[in-house]
Amino acid sequence: MSGRTPNQKAWWLVLPVVVLVAFNAVIPLMTVVNYSVQETFGDNQFFFEGVTWFEQILHSSRFHEALQRQLLFTAIVLAIELPLGVAIALAMPRRGAWASVCLVLMAMPLLIPWNVVGAMWNILALPDIGLLGHSLNAMGFDYNFTRQPLSAWLTLITMDVWHWTSLVVLLAYAGLSAIPNAFYQAARIDGASGWAVFCFIQLPKMKRVLMIAVLLRFMDSFMIYTEAIVLTGGGPGNATSLLSIDLVKIALGQFDLGPAAAMSLIYFLIILLLSWVFYTVMTRDEPQ
């Protein structure tokens, strides 16, 4: 963003975006803030409650457990998807028909509606008639994702890896394609090892796209709802009740608007804060 000319008229160009997003974001957010400080007994009767709901949520073990599950889930999928995606992108051919075939096939999971992703993994993992479930049980593993928390977690993580690793591959591949051939030739002349080429040429060149990948994967895995609710429904018990699932249970299931709204705000703030930390850490050494 360097070398831009000061021009206040540019506001006219961003005005449509501001109006549209403000309509979609500010009004609903104000509704949530409004609910979060009130108690309702139906019939549109509201009573001011102040920060009661916030205190209640922050002290409730239910919220702490859901948050811990969420953090664990996000940490695991990031730890698997990022290295795997980069490794696949490195191993892919740079150009030619085979590269196009790889890209098209790998991008498929990204364009499947999220509930279909959940349904598809459900069908695949059913212990009696699913390919995965049936095979695992035939091999002697005791696998049943509707009954055992461990099986449910493994299925959920495998599903997310299946669903989103391709995004990391696409981004990393785009970063790699942008490296001019001259860089590799120079490295060969210097006798650089493959590892050195990765550390000093490929990784620095991929930094920007990897930052986008980390941010998108962090945000989306933190908000996962549809796939998980279709696959496990948060169960068995509460074993896979991640934050969004728990939130919808409270908001639409029990219709506790106040606590749900307070939880929404805390949830949103956690994502904002963590994204900001990621962003700051990753752009720290960059000249602005």
Residues 179-238 that bind other proteins (CB under 8 A): 193-194, 205, 208-209, 212, 219, 222-223, 225-226
Q: 184 with 201: CB under 8 angstroms? A: yes
Can you tell me which of 37, 77, 228, 247 binds other proteins, judged by CB under 8 A? 247
How far is it, in rounded angstroms, from Cα 181 to Cα 276?
35
Query: For residue 161, which of 91, 92, 224 has the smallest C-alpha distance?
Result: 224
By CB under 8 A, how many residues form the interface with other proteins? 95
In the complex, least distance from residue 166 CB atom to other proteins, rounded to whole angstroms? 7
Of 44 and 61, which CB lies nearer to other proteins in the complex structure? 44
Cβ-proximal residues to 202 (8 Å cutoff; 6+ apart), any chain? 90, 176, 179
Structure tokens at 265: 């705000």
Interface with other proteins, residue 175, by CB under 8 A: yes
Can you tell me which of 37, 77, 106, 136 binds other proteins, judged by CB under 8 A? 106
The helix (run of H) or strand (run of E) holding residue 280 is helix 257-282
Which parts of 114-173 interact with other proteins (CB under 8 A)?
Answer: 114-116, 119-121, 123-124, 128-131, 134, 162, 165-166, 169-171, 173
* Greatest C-alpha distance within the chain: 78
Can you tell me which of 177, 185, 254, 283 binds other proteins, judged by CB under 8 A? 177
Can you tell me which of 157, 174, 187, 282 binds other proteins, judged by CB under 8 A? 174
Q: Which long-range contacts (CB under 8 A, 24 or more apart) does 101-106 make?
A: 103/170, 103/173, 106/166, 106/169, 106/170
Can you tell me which of 71, 76, 103, 187 binds other proteins, judged by CB under 8 A? 103
Which parts of 37-76 interact with other proteins (CB under 8 A)?
Answer: none
Query: For residue 108, which of 165, 158, 154 has the smallest C-alpha distance?
Result: 165
Can you tell me which of 51, 79, 110, 203 binds other proteins, judged by CB under 8 A? 110
Phi/psi for 82 (5° steps) reads -65, -55
